């Protein structure tokens, strides 16, 4: 046992590290080194930089109560704003960016202060999440009008909108603000594109989220020939556009006239390129050559369906006025006659539905002038055919035809051959020279007037 060193017995020695450690192991001379034992979880006195995670844990440990406090304050402020301002704004933006197109409209049973309205629209949201809406009251109005331009209100049932969804009403009785409705009808008839302005408020549900939204749109009417969600829909959407393309076909003068005075029949086409079906009623039109009224025409129970549909018309041509003013009429029609047709203007006079005048249609039609080119060859051919056939449709010159069939020079055979030709054949006979001779030769005019008077 080694002798204890003297300094280990002093008072200060008790504060020395390793006083009770004992002697260190010695090298046994066989190359056995002193054993070194590495210990874990020891505290190093060497300074080193802490990692980001260690700094974060230390910071959280010191200030966690502050973080919780300010988080509660933030949520107390943010959540009300999020649910009352941000979410409704997002929902409103989604609705504003939605595609809404009128795909079908029916305006039936027109009364002086009401209509029977059917309306179908295609709605497509820019999101792929189903949205449920509550029933909504929609105001239909004229956006250009100052103040309250509402002309009707319609009521839509609640629905779930998922993808392309059809919304609308079917045969809904609709009272009218007549003055505003008259303005809308005017725009539909006279303008090329007449949007339908609507406004309504409802509650929309996106899952459990409830939002109040406003539908305020100018809805374009789809063309009957277009995909409702075509990218070009805004450039190809027509309204009635003053019935551009109005035409009269198969005209015929009835000599003698019918018991009610009707002496003119024909077929009229009023083009309707929109998706609207309009029930108008019995429509009476004035027939004019220039500024002179030469008769009238009536379309019974007129219904404008999408597309080009012909409606039979009947009327009274005032032949006495026609003969009295034949020279100025021929002069005003000279260019048209040279091309084989008559140019007649039609102006609305009255519109009646179920025995009651419809004032808004009457006023609009009175301001509308439709010009038609009546084929002169067809008018003369159809008129002569009617004269040469009895009431049963039999040719009154049938016997004459049989007896004179062998005579190639017979005037009767030539007339019947002429009537058997197309309208174009007769129209070709009305050359510029023939018209000029008729206008400039009083004797020919007088002879024609005498012949026409003989039919009256």
21-59 pLDDT, tens digit each: 666 556 555 555 555 555 555 555 666 777 888 888 888
**Lowest model confidence (mean pLDDT) among 58-72, 85-99, 154-168:** 85-99
- Whether residue 143 contacts residue 149, with contact meaning beta carbons closer than 8 Å, is answered with yes
- Predicted pLDDT at 20: 62
Which residue has better confidence, 4 or 331?
331
Which is nearest to 454 in space by CA: 325, 323, 331, 342? 323
Q: Is a pLDDT exceeding 60 seen at residue 399? A: no
Question: What's the whole-number mean pLDDT along residues 179-206?
Answer: 88
- Predicted pLDDT at 299: 95
- Predicted pLDDT at 114: 95
pLDDT bin (cut points 50, 70, 90) of residue 118 is: very high
pLDDT bin (cut points 50, 70, 90) of residue 227 is: very low
**Lowest model confidence (mean pLDDT) among 201-215, 337-351, 412-426:** 412-426
Which is nearest to 398 in space by CA: 382, 380, 413, 383? 413
Question: What's the whole-number mean pLDDT along residues 447-454?
Answer: 60
Q: pLDDT tens digits, residue range 93-116?
A: 877 778 888 888 999 999 999 999
CA distances (Å), 446 to each of 27, 32, 205, 383, 431, in order?
A: 158, 155, 82, 21, 20
- Predicted pLDDT at 454: 58
**Equal CATH topology for 96-221 and 241-328+343-374:** yes
DSSP 25: P
Residue ranges covered by each domain of the chain: 96-221, 241-328+343-374
At 133, list the tokens: 């809406």
What would be the CATH architecture of the domain defined by 96-221? Sandwich (2.60)
Which residue has better confidence, 224 or 26?
26
Q: What percent of the chain has pLDDT over 90?
A: 25
Rounded to two decimals, the pTM is: 0.71
Q: How confident is the prediction for the chain on average, in pLDDT?
A: 77
Q: pLDDT tens digits, residue range 317-376?
A: 888 888 888 778 878 888 888 788 889 999 999 999 999 999 999 999 999 999 988 887
Q: pLDDT tens digits, residue range 402-413?
A: 444 444 444 444
**Lowest model confidence (mean pLDDT) among 30-44, 209-223, 379-393:** 30-44
Q: Report the top-level CATH class of 241-328+343-374.
A: mainly beta
Q: Name 327's Cβ contacts closer than 8 Å, sequence gap at least 6.
A: 439, 445
Strand partners, 305: none
């Amino acid at each position: 046992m080694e002798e204890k060193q003297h300094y280990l017995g002093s008072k200060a020695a008790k504060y020395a590290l390793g006083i009770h450690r004992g002697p260190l192991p010695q090298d046994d001379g066989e190359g056995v080194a002193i054993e070194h034992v590495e210990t874990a979880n020891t505290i190093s006195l060497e300074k080193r930089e802490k990692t980001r995670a260690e700094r974060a844990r230390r910071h959280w440990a010191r200030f966690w109560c502050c973080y919780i406090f300010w988080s509660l304050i933030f949520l107390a402020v943010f959540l009300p704003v999020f649910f009352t301002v941000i979410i409704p704004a997002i929902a409103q933006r989604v609705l504003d960016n939605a595609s809404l197109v009128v795909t079908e409209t029916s305006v039936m049973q027109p009364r002086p202060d009401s209509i029977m309205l059917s309306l179908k629209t295609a709605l497509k949201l820019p999101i792929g999440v189903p949205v449920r809406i509550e029933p909504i009251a929609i105001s239909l109005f004229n956006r250009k009008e100052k103040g309250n331009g509402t002309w009707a209100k319609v009521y839509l049932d609640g629905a779930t909108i998922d993808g392309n969804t059809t919304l609308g009403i079917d045969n809904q009785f609709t009272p009218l603000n007549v003055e505003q409705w008259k303005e809308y009808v005017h725009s539909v008839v006279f303008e090329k594109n007449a949007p339908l302005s609507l406004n309504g408020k409802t509650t929309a549900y996106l899952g459990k989220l409830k939002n109040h939204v406003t539908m305020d749109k100018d809805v374009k009417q789809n063309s009957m020939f277009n995909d409702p969600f075509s990218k070009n829909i805004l450039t190809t959407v027509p309204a009635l556009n003053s019935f551009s393309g109005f035409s009269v076909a198969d005209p015929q003068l009835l000599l003698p006239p019918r018991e009610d005075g009707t002496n003119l029949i024909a077929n009229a086409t009023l083009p309707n390129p929109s998706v609207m079906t309009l029930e108008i009623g019995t429509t009476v039109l004035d027939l004019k050559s220039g500024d002179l009224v030469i008769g009238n025409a009536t379309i019974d129970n007129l219904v404008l369906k999408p597309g080009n549909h012909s409606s039979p018309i009947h009327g009274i041509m005032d032949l006495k006025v026609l003969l009295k003013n034949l020279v100025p009429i021929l002069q005003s029609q000279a260019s048209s006659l040279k091309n084989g047709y008559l140019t007649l203007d039609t102006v609305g006079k009255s519109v009646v539905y179920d025995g009651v005048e419809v004032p808004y249609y009457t006023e609009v039609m009175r301001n509308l002038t439709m010009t038609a080119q009546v084929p002169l060859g067809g008018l003369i051919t159809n008129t002569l055919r009617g004269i040469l056939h009895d009431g049963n449709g039999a040719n009154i010159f049938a016997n004459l035809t049989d007896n004179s069939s062998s005579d190639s020079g017979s005037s009767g055979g030539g007339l019947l051959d002429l009537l058997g030709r197309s309208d174009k054949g007769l129209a070709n006979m009305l050359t510029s020279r023939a018209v000029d001779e008729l206008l400039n030769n009083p004797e020919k005019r007088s002879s024609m007037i005498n012949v026409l008077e003989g039919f009256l």
